Amino acid sequence: MLAQEIIRAKRDGHALDEAQIQSFVKGLTDGSWSEGQVAALGMAVFLRGMGREEAVHLTRAMMHSGRVMQWHDMPGPVLDKHSSGGVGDKVSLMLAPMVAACGGYVPMIAGRGLGHTGGTVDKLEAIPGYTTTPDPARFDRIVRELGCAIIGQTGDLAPADKRFYATRDVTATVESVPLITASILSKKLAAGLQGLSMDIKCGNGAFASTPAFARELAESIVAVAGGAGLKTRALITDMNEVLGDEVGNALEIAETIAYLKGERQEPRLHEVTLALAAEMLVIGGLAADTAAARARLQQALDSGAAAEKFAQMVVALGGPADLMERPQAYLPAAPVIRAIPAPRAGVLSTMKTRDIGLLIVEMGGGRRVASDAIDFRVGLSGVRHVGASLAAGEPLALVHAADEAQAERVIAAYQAAVTLAEPGTAVTPAPIVMEVIG
């Protein structure tokens, strides 16, 4: 089947059949399609779109382009959660052990930071000794024994997607709903899941900046996942402000530990974690409804069972046995910690969340190019949230910097990224869960 004829069909607005899509994915995998041809089809799909049936065919073909995990004889449901990416989003780190403590099995294959958003794998690598690249047999054993393991993406799962995404990234065709859908779901289906909870971030710190785009993406993911045989629920959640109190790799691990131990649970972070995890329990048949699921998850937190699962996972993947008791002994700390003072009294009304995420990247907490080394120490803590009343000079957050010059730059940039309304102004934050799809 000629590549140029498949490109021509999509260019002219026709739906591609399963054979044409399989030919394209085979060409991605074996290199028989050139970069120019891959780019041309990506642009044709970007401009002409794809129907649900086409997206299902593409998802399934990319899923089968590499190894597909099998979870035979599992005593409980195999479940996962995926986020479209946000600033301060450490939900995966808390959610996986919570669901495992409730009887689910979570083989979570997470990503690194992308653009202004942080990556779960980068955060975990702030833990000394933690390996995010175990061999498949070790990963399988840990999931079966503990109920959860969080690792990095492997090259043998959906390799066609890896090549296609790299081409889309440099040809301005990333923002295609059917292609985003197929990219996410091909990897999740290759992980052998039985249920998926999808977190579509929406707002000025999210990839989906508008509710309409977030809803379109959520509906596409739920429909295509269903067509491919994967039970999925999608939550559209607010990303118009930093999620949680801390941003930065080591700082977010510290916040995760405090959360799981019940020492500090920022309300919006707690709500979105419970909401996403509850959908997983219901999909997996571990709870009759979301109310029962939330109660069970809260019990896993209150009893210490979720914290114990996280501690066991860390040890199983090479991390320290007493991380939960002595995080400060292991997590790298920045040499300079400075308050970011509010320039005047007022009520925090808005955040330029994307700018804050990019600020972390500029500090070295993320990557400009793939080869960049991460500075796990840097970031922000004690972040004040929308609706908070501040006196002049009161900290908006604390910056954890590599040196004094960096701290000064971050203080000025952060002050420019937030807006203070007049004192006494009533400011109501957006609800953290904006909509549930599926």
The residues carrying an active-site annotation are: 80-83, 120, 168, 183, 187-188
Q: Identify residue 235 by its one-letter amino acid code.
A: L
> Which residue, 320, 287, 326, is CA-closest to 101?
287
Query: Which residues of 309-364 form beta strands (DSSP E)?
Result: 336-341, 346-351
The answer to whether 296 touches 281, Cβ cutoff 8 Å, is yes
Angle at 290 between CA 289 and CA 291, to 5 degrees: 95
Pairing type for strands 148-152 and 106-110 reads parallel
What letter would DSSP give residue 363?
A: I
Residues 363 and 360: their CA atoms lie apart, in Å, by 5
By the 8 A CB rule, do 417 and 352 touch?
yes
Structure tokens at 222: 């739920």
**Within 13 Å, how many C-alpha atoms sit on residue 109's CB side?**
25
Within 10 Å of residue 412's Cβ, how many Cβ atoms?
10
* DSSP reduced 3-state for 151: strand
Number of Cβ within 10 Å of residue 367's Cβ equals 17
Rounded CA Rg of the chain: 22
Q: Which residues contact 200 (CB under 8 A, 6 or more apart)?
A: 84, 208, 214, 217, 218, 221, 234, 235, 236, 237
* Short-list 218, 74, 227, 198, CA closest to 146: 74
Rounded CA separation 150/79 (Å): 12
At residue 206's C-alpha, the angle toward residues 202 and 210, to 5°, is 45
